[in-house]
Structure 1
Amino acid sequence: MRKRKTSNAQRRKNLEALTPLKHYRYREVKRFTNSFACVVGKGGFGTVYKGNLPDGRKVAVKVLKDTKSNGEEDFINEVVSMSQTSHVNIVSLVGFCYEGSKRMIVYEFLENGSLDQFISTRASSVAEWRRRLYYILLGVARDLEYLHYGCKTRIVHFDIKPQNVLLDSNLCPKVSDFGLAKLCEKKESIMSLLDTRGTIGYIAPEMISRVYGGVSHKSDVYSYGMLVLEMIGATNKDTVKNTTSNTSSIYFPDWIYNDLENEQQNRIYGDDLTKEEEEITKKMVLVALWCIQSYPSNRPSMNRVVEMMEGSLDALDVPPRPIFQIPMAPLRESSTLSGDISVYIEE
C-alpha cells in the first residue's frame, strides 16, 4: 500500500509538471459541486457534474470511473493534450483532481450540452437547423484543422462524434473528451497503435483492418464525415427513419449516393428549403462523402475540408462510392472501443 501511494503521488507530480492547469484537491471539488449534487451527463467514462467555483464561474466536472482498463492512461491523455490547446472550438480546461483512485477533470460549463442532445430536443424546422448546422460543422472542421496543423505537436482525437461536440450559449461548437487522443510529430504520417480506439459508426476502416492503410490523422477526417452525415439525417430524421425502417443492415451513406445519382434529393434536403439552403446542404453532403472514402489517401486533409466547406458548391465533384460497409450507429447510442478492445456503452 505504501508503494502504491508513493507511485500515485509521483504520477500526480509528473502530471502537474506537464501542465499549467490548476490541481484541485478532492475536498475542493466536493465543495464547489455541492457534494456532487447536480448530474449533467453520464457515460461509459463516468459522470459529469455541474459546479460553481468560488469566483462565480460555472464548471463541469467529469469524474472518471475507477476502472483498470486504460482509465489512468485516458485521463492523462485528456489532461495533457487539452492543456496544450487554445482554440475557440475546443472546450477549455480549468483544472484536474488526481488523488489516489480519484481522477476528475474540471472544464468550462456549456449551457446547451452536446450536439446530439440539442438537435434532438430543440430543432424547430429543417430549414432553421440546416443554416445553424453548417456553421456548427464548419467550427468542428476548424477545430480539427487546428489540432492537426496548428498545435506544436499534432493531436489526433480518435473519437469525433455528436456526443463529444458541446455547444455554448451562442451555439458555438467546442470539441471535448480527449481521452482517446494521441500526440504525434507532424512529420509522422502513420501512427503505431496497439489498440483499436473510437466509436462504432464513426471509427475509420483502417482502425479495424490495416488492408485499408495505416492509421493517421486521416482517421479523424473519416469520423468528421460520418458526423456530418448523421447530423444532416438528424435534422430530417422522419425521412431517414422511413428510409431505413425496413432494413436494419443498410449502410447509412448508401441511400445518399443513390439519391445523388438518381437526382432524387428530397430525402437529403427535406421540405421547405430555399435554393441557398439546398446548396449548403448538398455541399455538406459532398464534403462528408469525400471524408469517408475507404482509403485514407483518398480523403482530404482537414485544412482542405475547411476550404471545401467555405468554398463554392460548383467546385465539388461527387466522390466515388466507398467499397466497404460498416453499420452506422444510431443517434445517441454508441459503443466506444479503447485499449484492449474494451467496450463502454454510453447512456
Structure 2
Amino acid sequence: MEIAKVLLALWVLGRFVFAPISLLILLAYKLWISHVSIDIVEKFLREQQMLSTTRYSYTDIIAITGHFREKLGQGGFGSVFRGTLLNGQHVAIKMLGNYQFNGEDFINEVSTIGRIHHVNIVRLIGFCSEGSKRALVYEYMPKGSLDKYIFSARGTSNRPFSWDKLNEIALGVARGIDYLHRGCDMQILHFDIKSHNILLDCHFNPKVSDFGLAKLYPKNYSLVSLSAARGTIGYIAPELVSRNFGVVSDKSDVYSFGMLLLEMAGGRRNVDNIMANTSQVYYPSWIYDQLTQNNGIIEINNNIEIYEVERKLCKVGLWCIQMKSSNRPSMDQVVEMLEGDTDNLQMPPRPFFASSQLISASQSSMQSISIELSIILEQEDCSNSDNNIKDVKFVSSITQS
C-alpha cells in the first residue's frame, strides 16, 4: 500500500511539476537559440556597408507576394514564392526556415551574391530580416531550373533547345563559376553546383543560384579548411570526403560541374536506377568506355548517335571528375575547353577507382555508396580519427562495388 502511494506521488510530481518544468526549459532553450540566430544576422548586417541590395520589412514581403499567393517551389530551406515589386518587376522570394544553421545560410547568400554582379549569377535584389522572419528576394527566372529540362525525356527530340544551345548553357554556367573563383575580390567556392541550382531566364540563359553552402576565401588560398563534407550526393568531390584525394579548393566546384556536364550530355542522372540491371548503371564509367572503345562514337538514348557537342561535353566532364583534385583543370581552363573544338580535346585518363567490369555494378552496390556517404554527411561534428575511419569505409565501398 505504501509503495502504491509513493508511485502515485511520483506520478503526480512528474505530470504536474517535472513535465511543465521540462517544457519551460525546452521553450527557453529554443527562444535563446532564436535570439542567438537573430543577433548573429543583425551583427552581420550592421557590418555590411557595401551592400547594394534593398532591405525589406516583413509587411513589404507580404505585399510583394500578395500574401504568398503563388508558390514556385519547396525545399529543405523553406518555400519560394513569386512576387511583384512596385515597379512591376517580377521576383522570386525565398522564405528561410528559422531553424536552418542559425542564420548561416542567410548570411552566406547575402555576403556572396549580395555584392557581385555577373550575367551568369542570379541577382539578389533584396532581403528581409525581421525577428525570426528571413527572406531573400531574387530576380525571377521564368524557365525555372535546368533539371526540369535535361531529365524530362530520354531523347534529344523532346529537348526545348538544340545541342548548340546546350553548349551555350554549359559555357554560361562555367563562366559564372569562373567569375566566382577569379573575378571577385574574394574567391567564392559554391560547394553545391548541380542542375537544380542552375536557373534559366526566358531565353534559356543560365544563372548559378543557391549560395547557402558557399564559402569566401582570399584568392591566394590554395588550401581550404572545412569541418565537414558539404554538397549533394552525386556531385560532391572526393576530397570533401577524404583528403587522400587532394586538398579542398576551387577544384571541388570543378568536379561538381563535371558531373553536371555528363548529366546534361546524356539527359540522365549519373547513377540511374532505371539502368540498374545493365552496364549503364553508373553513367560516367559507361560513357568513358563508349568514348575509348568505339573511337569516340557513342550511342545513348534509344540508340541515337551522339552529336559533336555531346562528345565535347562528355570529354570535358570526364576531365573535370578526375579523382585527384590536382589532375582536374581549373575553371578558366574548362571555359577554354568548352569554347574550343572537340577534336582538340585529348581523352582524359580513366577517372574511376576500378575497371569497367567492376564499376558495372548492380543497383544495390550503388545504393551502398549513397548510404555510406549519407552517413558521412550526417556526422559533421566528429573527431579526426573518426573521419579517417569513415574515409576508409567510403573508399572500400566503391572499390568493392
Normalising by structure 2, we get a TM-score of 0.75
Partner amino acid, structure 1, of 2:132: S
Alpha-carbon distance between aligned partners in 2 of 1:312 and 1:4, rounded to the nearest angstrom = 54
**192-201 vs 311-320, which moves further:** 311-320
Report the CA distance between 1:262 and its aligned residue: 1.4
| Equivalent residue for 1:233, pick from 254, 266, 287 | 266
Gaps of 5+ in 1: 329-334, 343-347
**Structure-2 residue corresponding to 1:204:** 237
Q: Helix, strand or coil for the counterpart of 2:113?
A: helix
**Structure-1 residue corresponding to 2:142:** 111
Report the CA distance between 1:306 and its aligned residue: 0.4
Q: Which has the higher contact order (CA 8 A, sep 6+)?
A: 1
| Equivalent residue for 1:304, pick from 321, 330, 333 | 333
Report the CA distance between 1:178 and its aligned residue: 0.3
**Structure-2 residue corresponding to 1:165:** 198
| Equivalent residue for 1:8, pick from 38, 41, 57 | 38
Alpha-carbon distance between aligned partners in 1 of 2:366 and 2:219, rounded to the nearest angstrom = 32
Partner amino acid, structure 1, of 2:240: M
Q: Kindly indicate which of the two structures has a greater share of residues assigned to helix.
A: 2
**Structure-1 residue corresponding to 2:68:** 36
Alpha-carbon distance between aligned partners in 2 of 1:115 and 1:196, rounded to the nearest angstrom = 25
**Structure-2 residue corresponding to 1:24:** 56
What are the Cα deviations for residues 68-115 of structure 1, in whole angstroms up to 9, with x where unaligned?
x52511110111111121100000001111112211100000100000
CA RMSD for the aligned pairs?
3.2
**Structure-1 residue corresponding to 2:80:** 48
| Equivalent residue for 2:256, pick from 217, 223, 239 | 223
Alpha-carbon distance between aligned partners in 2 of 1:322 and 1:165, rounded to the nearest angstrom = 25
| Equivalent residue for 2:298, pick from 266, 271, 276 | 266
1:314 counterpart = 2:343 = yes
Report the CA distance between 1:241 and its aligned residue: 6.4
**Structure-1 residue corresponding to 2:101:** 70
Alpha-carbon distance between aligned partners in 1 of 2:377 and 2:180, rounded to the nearest angstrom = 20
Partner amino acid, structure 1, of 2:126: G
Alpha-carbon distance between aligned partners in 2 of 1:127 and 1:315, rounded to the nearest angstrom = 29
**98-107 vs 168-177, which moves further:** 98-107
Count matched residues: 331
Normalising by structure 1, we get a TM-score of 0.86
Alpha-carbon distance between aligned partners in 2 of 1:10 and 1:73, rounded to the nearest angstrom = 9
Q: Helix, strand or coil for the counterpart of 2:299?
A: helix
Identity of aligned residues (%): 47
Report the CA distance between 1:248 and its aligned residue: 9.4
**Structure-2 residue corresponding to 1:101:** 132
Report the CA distance between 1:129 and its aligned residue: 3.6
Alpha-carbon distance between aligned partners in 2 of 1:117 and 1:336, rounded to the nearest angstrom = 28
Check 1:229–1:7 CA distance in 2 against 1; reply closer, same or farther (3 A cut). Answer: closer
Partner amino acid, structure 2, of 1:58: H
Gaps of 5+ in 2: 1-30, 354-358, 360-364, 368-373, 382-401
Counterpart contact for 1:32–1:51, Cα < 8 Å:
yes
- Matched ranges for 1:80-91 at <5 A: 80-91=111-122
Q: Helix, strand or coil for the counterpart of 2:247?
A: coil
Counterpart contact for 2:239–2:245, Cα < 8 Å:
yes
| Equivalent residue for 1:213, pick from 246, 250, 253 | 246
1:293 counterpart = 2:293 = no
Check 1:288–1:6 CA distance in 2 against 1; reply closer, same or farther (3 A cut). Answer: closer
